[in-house]
Amino acid sequence: MADPFSLEGLQRAIAASTASDDTQNVAEKQTDDGASIGWGPYAALMAGNAADIGSTWQAIESGRGREGNPVLPHSPAAIMGLKAAATIPEALIMKSLADHGHPTAGKILGYAVGALGAGLAAHNSQVGR
């Protein structure tokens, strides 16, 4: 089903409200590509990753923390750049899931990664004090 706040969703609502019974039946038979999952999951993804990046930077700069991921380099700037760059493929995966008929999975991914970032930020803020 189309996001009701997207242009496509609004156009469908207007068309459905003014359509005759025959036209409405044809519109209901058309399938939605699920291309829109709304802005909420993307906002959660960005906010969680930004909070993790900021709190990691703060913990490292305070001298009380370090990056827990052994794959990431030891340079704070490199860590922040890689974490920020990782947000792009995460968002693209969400979009791809929605485009291929799995908008719920895309939403779950966005909110889950955002919540993970928020949890990491909460931990980092305790370490960096």
Quick check: 105 and 39 in contact, CB under 8 A?
A: no
The pLDDT averaged over each successive group of 10 residues in the chain (129 residues) is 61 64 44 68 95 91 88 87 93 95 95 96 85
32 CB-contact burial (10 Å; exposed 0-12 / middle 13-18 / buried 19+): middle
| Structure confidence at residue 40 (pLDDT) | 94
In angstroms, rounded to a whole number, what is the distance separating the alpha carbons of residues 96 and 99? 5
pTM, two decimals, is 0.68
Domain ranges, ordered by start, for the chain: 1-32, 33-127
| Structure confidence at residue 73 (pLDDT) | 87
| Structure confidence at residue 30 (pLDDT) | 39
